[in-house]
Structure 1
Amino acid sequence: MAAVPPVCDFGWPAVDATLPGTDGQKHRIFDQAGPNGLVVVFICNHCPYVKASIDRIVRDARDLKAHGIGFVAISSNDAATYPEDSFDKMAEFAREHGFTFPYLHDEDQSVARAYDAVCTPDFFGFNKDLKLQYRGRLDAARTGPATPDMRRDLYEAMVQVAEAGKGPEEQIPSMGCSIKWKDAA
């Protein structure tokens, strides 16, 4: 079932954590920030929205680096219920798609809860002070292919954040599969 996150809460402070990455290292979220900001995205391996957009996500992460914007991806899905989202499968997914940024495992789901993440993909764009300036979509493609003239919402918003420190007032929320929460038993 598709889920849609809330609109951007401008100025909300990023939350730091140290999580294991698919590269075998532990990574601190704040250490991934560039001099002009940081994108934290919650993704998973099995979601059709992520599968359809992952190559564009990787492209935008690479292109944003040139603007001083860091990037980190986090998977928080319950791998017991969704084995395709296991840590081993995450490492495979990152290799297959040429991730140039850390892909972190939030096994206890505490980071997703701290961010109030809703879906995959769920993008959080922060300025250099790690204050939220963007919580919108990657682009309009959703689960379809992107057209050559399609607006790159995340990329354009984060370039604006890099240059002005503020994101666009008008943002279209991301849409994706709901995060697969563990039972609260």
Structure 2
Amino acid sequence: MFRPVALLVVLAAALLAVPAAYAVRVHVRVEGKTRTIFGAGDPVLDVTSPRANALPENALDALETASAVGEFFYHVTQTGFGPYVDQVGRYGSAGQTGWVFKVNGVSPPVGADQVKLAAGDTVLWYWAQFGAAGGPKTLVLRRTGRCYTALAQDDAGKTAPAAGAALRVGSLRTVRMPNGRACIGVHRGLLVRATLAGAVRSNALP
């Protein structure tokens, strides 16, 4: 006599588990105009889609998930070309500035809702100022032992040493990187990242 009840419980549990089945685990970071808004260390998030179907998650879903986890505001405007992110945090798009994104270091030629994500992808949203040469390069920081290398990455994902970058060790120490590389001593508990005028700040590493 209890079998129907047990069956309902099982079905309810299965329905609740459905959204999780659509999640994809990716790295997400959001860089603002003057500071990091979310995920300095490129944390892994379970990105889920607000849509009630099994469509693959996209780069816009990644921003939505980061917004929910980090409790920051963003706004989307619907245009003839699809949804457009016109504000993240306090700064909105205006003139030659706006919000753009990269997936695995590449700036796609389509909207964020059209870029499907796969497990292990890295999604970067950032505030950009555009000029005659296009948008800013994004910095990528890598570490080998106590030595760090800063790379400047263009929209196609091509990298080159970020000559002249500065290595920020915590909030009080700065180390010059004339050739895009620097070695530092023990800095227990402090995060390290690279900055360069005109470029988007890098990911943070221990």
Provide the TM-score with structure 2 as the length reference: 0.27
More helix by share: 1
Q: TM-score, normalized by length of structure 1?
A: 0.29
Highest RCO, 1 vs 2 (Cα 8 Å, sep ≥ 6): 1
> Greater strand share, 1 or 2?
2
Please identify the structure whose Cα radius of gyration is greater. 2
